[in-house]
């Protein structure tokens, strides 16, 4: 990690700082070609429109209107995204008009700080974790030992499973059908740590479908982290560049694009190394 991130002084040379993008964006030029990704585009005006005829130098503009699911690409879940019997984090009640929901994406802070990347495929010497497998505490502990890291030293933990490969290859059905992710023991264990945000390169941090357990079989990670702990979840990250560069520790920065009351904030997170 660059000295710029370790030094508390302000007058620091930034010339050697690298910025690595960790987000994915909408892969379509027009409307979505799959039901798995909700995205529509309407052109408000284009450079071809007759309205520009007669303007000085025929100066023209291009502008579009976008309709999309905020959870389609890289994003942070707002704390109002999940509720138990209509009650969410900090006893917030979610009934009636959604426009008055609290804990929306407008309240999501900038997520930044020293982050750990658990590169599970590298540790297991595979290209990606099989979607039928779940990430257990035992696997996490072995990976921590392999990477010679202590989870107690980090408030941001990122999990690389390799699952994002399906998205990058345009195999959206394979991406959303099921995924390798955190098992219930790992979820409960992570929730006991001083972690403010967890991210992963899949569409939900949990193993989908979730195996039978006594806590919850329906998005247990969201239940535990969002509702009970108030920790943020970041999904659809692309951590491949970190693995390619052998990086297990970075300074992480995700600035949320906030919408009032919304259930998520779009991000294009970066690693500063």
Report the CATH number that the domain containing residue 223 is assigned in CATH. 3.50.30.50
SS3 199: strand
Indicate whether 104 and 144 sit together in one domain.
Answer: yes
Long-range contacts of 148-152 (CB under 8 A, 24+ apart): 149/116, 149/248, 149/249, 151/116, 151/193, 151/195, 152/193, 152/194
Cα 164 to chain centroid distance, Å, stands at 11
Q: Tell me, what's the pLDDT at 14? A: 74
Domain count, the chain: 2
Task: Give residue-wise pLDDT tens across range 83-142.
Answer: 999 999 999 999 999 999 999 999 999 999 999 999 999 999 999 999 999 999 999 999
Domain end residue (candidates: 70, 86, 102)? 70
Q: Are 238 and 23 within 8 A, CB to CB? A: yes
Structure letter (DSSP) for residue 84 = B
β-strand 270-272 against 249-254: which pairing, if any?
antiparallel
Both tokens of 226, joined, read 């969002």
Indicate whether 82 and 138 sit together in one domain.
Answer: yes
Which pTM does this prediction carry? Answer: 0.94
Indicate whether 62 and 94 sit together in one domain.
Answer: no
SS3 164: helix
User: How do the residues of the chain divide into helix, strand and coil, expressed in percent and rounded to 5?
Assistant: 25, 25, 50
Domain span at residue 144 reads 75-272
Q: With 60 as the cut, is the pLDDT of residue 25 above it?
A: yes
Q: What average pLDDT does the chain have?
A: 96
What pLDDT band is residue 11 in, cutting at 50, 70 and 90?
A: low
Residue 209 falls inside a structural domain: yes
Mean pLDDT, range 205-234, rounded to an integer: 97
β-strand 39-45 against 63-68: which pairing, if any?
antiparallel
- Percent of the chain clearing pLDDT 90 (strictly above): 94
Indicate whether 165 and 46 sit together in one domain.
Answer: no
Indicate whether 49 and 104 sit together in one domain.
Answer: no
């Amino acid at each position: 990690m660059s000295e710029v991130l370790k030094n508390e002084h302000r007058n620091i040379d930034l010339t050697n700082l690298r910025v690595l993008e960790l987000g994915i964006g909408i892969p379509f030029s027009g409307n979505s070609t799959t039901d798995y990704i909700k995205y529509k585009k309407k052109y408000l005006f284009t450079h071809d429109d007759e309205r520009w005829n007669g303007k000085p130098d025929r100066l023209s503009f291009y502008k579009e209107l976008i309709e999309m699911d905020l959870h389609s690409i890289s994003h942070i879940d707002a704390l109002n995204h999940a509720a138990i019997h209509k009650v969410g984090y900090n006893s917030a009640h979610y009934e009636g008009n959604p426009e008055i929901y609290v804990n929306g994406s407008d309240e999501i802070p900038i997520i930044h700080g020293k982050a750990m990347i658990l590169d599970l495929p590298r540790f297991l010497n595979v290209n990606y974790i099989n979607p039928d497998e779940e990430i257990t505490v035992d696997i996490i502990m072995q990976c921590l030992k392999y990477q010679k890291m202590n989870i107690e030293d980090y408030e941001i933990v990122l999990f690389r499973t390799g699952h994002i490969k399906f998205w990058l290859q345009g195999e959206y059905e394979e991406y959303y059908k099921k995924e390798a992710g955190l098992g219930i023991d790992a979820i409960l264990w992570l929730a006991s740590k001083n972690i403010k945000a967890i991210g992963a390169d899949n569409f939900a941090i949990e193993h989908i479908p979730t195996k039978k357990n006594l806590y919850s079989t329906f998005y247990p990670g969201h239940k535990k982290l969002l509702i009970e702990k108030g920790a943020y979840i970041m999904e659809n990250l692309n951590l491949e560049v970190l693995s390619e560069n052998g990086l297990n520790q970075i300074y992480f920065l995700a600035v949320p694009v906030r919408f009032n009351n919304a259930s998520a904030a779009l991000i294009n997170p970066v690693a500063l190394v």
